[in-house]
C-alpha cells in the first residue's frame, strides 16, 4: 500500500505567519485528503482535492496538487494559536478499495 | 448531521485482558474503517468494511484482534488478549461508498495496557 509522507515533521511559527506543509506520495492517485488532529482528539477532515484539480481553497487553507511530481502542499495563511495541531495527508490505496492511508504527519506549533 | 460515535473514550486494562470498542458510523455511510494510531505516528488501517462485509483486513493481527459489523451499521473491535504494544488510540471512520469521498473520524478510544 502506498503512503503519503509529510514534510517537515515539525514546524514552529508565530501567530500571523503562514505555514506550509508538503506531502509526497508514490503512485498515481484519484484524490488526496488533508486532515488536522488536535491533541487528544480525532482527525478532522480539511480538504479533499481530486487528481484533476490543481488548487483548492477553504477559508484560510489552500491546497495544491502536482500529480506530475506526486506532491501536494497545504498552506495555512495568517495562522492562529488555534491552528496548533498535527496535519496529515491521506492518499487512497490502489485496487479499488480507496482506503485512506496516512503518513506520520507534520506537527505545527503556532506561538501567540 | 451526527458524526461518528465511539465508546468508550478511555480504557485502561492489564496485559492479557480483553477489551472491546464500539463504533456507530454516520447514517448512510456504507464504508467503515478501524485505525490504530500509536503515539507520534499516523493512523494505520486495521480493517475496512463495506456494509457488513470485510474489504481489507490484511493489517489486522488476527491472532488477537477481531472485528465485526452486524447489519452493516455499528461495529465492534475486540482485542483478546491485549499486549503492552496495543496501547494506542483506536479510531473509527466512515465514508460513503466509492472514490473521492471523505472519511469522517470519531474521537477515538485511548487504550492503555499496563
Query: Which residue out of B103, B108, B112 would a mutagenesis test of the A interface target, given it has the greatest number of A Cβ atoms within 10 Å?
Result: B103
For each of the domains in chain B, give its residue range(s) and CATH number, in order of start.
Answer: 5-113 (2.60.40.10)
Closest by Cα among A92, A77, A99 to A21: A77
pLDDT of residue A1: 47
Topology of the domain covering A5-80+104-111: Immunoglobulin-like (2.60.40)
pLDDT of residue A42: 80
**B62 CB neighbour count, 10 Å cutoff:** 10
Choice between B67 and A26, residue whose per-residue pLDDT is larger: B67
| Model confidence band, residue A97 (pLDDT cutoffs 50, 70, 90) | low
- Inform me whether the pLDDT recorded for A40 exceeds 80: no
Contact A97 B55 (CB under 8 A): yes
Choice between A95 and A76, residue whose per-residue pLDDT is larger: A76
Residue B66 and residue A98: Cα distance in Å, rounded? 22
Contact B99 A31 (CB under 8 A): yes
Whether B102 and chain A come into contact, CB under 8 Å, resolves to yes
Nearest CA in chain A to B96: A98
Taking 70 as the pLDDT cut, the residues of chain B under it are: 1, 99
Three cell numbers, residue B55: 474489504
Does the N-terminal peptide bond of residue A50 adopt cis geometry, omega within 30 degrees of 0? no
Q: What percent of chain A has a predicted confidence (pLDDT) above 70?
A: 93
Residue A43 and residue B17: Cα distance in Å, rounded? 28
Amino acid at each position: 500500500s502506498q503512503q503519503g509522507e509529510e514534510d517537515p515533521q515539525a514546524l514552529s511559527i508565530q501567530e500571523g505567519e503562514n505555514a506550509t506543509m508538503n506531502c509526497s506520495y508514490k503512485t498515481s492517485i484519484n484524490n488526496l485528503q488533508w486532515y488536522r488532529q488536535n491533541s487528544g482528539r480525532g482527525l478532522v477532515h480539511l480538504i479533499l482535492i481530486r487528481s484533476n484539480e490543481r488548487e483548492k481553497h477553504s477559508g484560510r487553507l489552500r491546497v495544491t496538487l502536482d500529480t506530475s511530481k506526486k506532491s501536494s502542499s497545504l498552506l495555512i495563511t495568517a495562522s492562529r494559536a488555534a491552528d496548533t495541531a498535527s496535519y496529515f495527508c491521506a492518499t487512497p490505496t490502489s485496487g479499488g478499495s480507496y482506503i485512506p492511508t496516512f503518513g506520520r504527519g507534520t506537527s505545527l506549533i503556532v506561538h501567540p | 448531521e451526527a458524526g461518528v460515535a465511539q465508546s468508550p473514550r478511555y480504557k485502561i486494562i492489564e496485559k492479557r485482558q480483553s477489551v472491546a470498542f464500539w463504533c456507530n458510523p454516520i447514517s448512510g455511510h456504507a464504508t467503515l474503517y478501524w485505525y490504530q494510531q500509536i503515539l507520534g505516528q499516523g493512523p494505520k488501517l486495521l480493517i475496512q468494511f463495506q456494509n457488513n462485509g470485510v474489504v481489507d483486513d490484511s493489517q489486522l493481527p488476527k491472532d488477537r484482534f477481531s472485528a465485526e459489523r452486524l447489519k452493516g451499521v455499528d461495529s465492534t473491535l475486540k482485542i483478546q488478549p491485549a499486549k503492552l504494544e496495543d496501547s494506542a488510540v483506536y479510531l473509527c471512520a466512515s465514508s460513503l461508498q466509492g472514490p473521492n469521498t471523505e472519511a469522517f473520524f470519531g474521537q477515538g478510544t485511548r487504550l492503555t495496557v499496563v
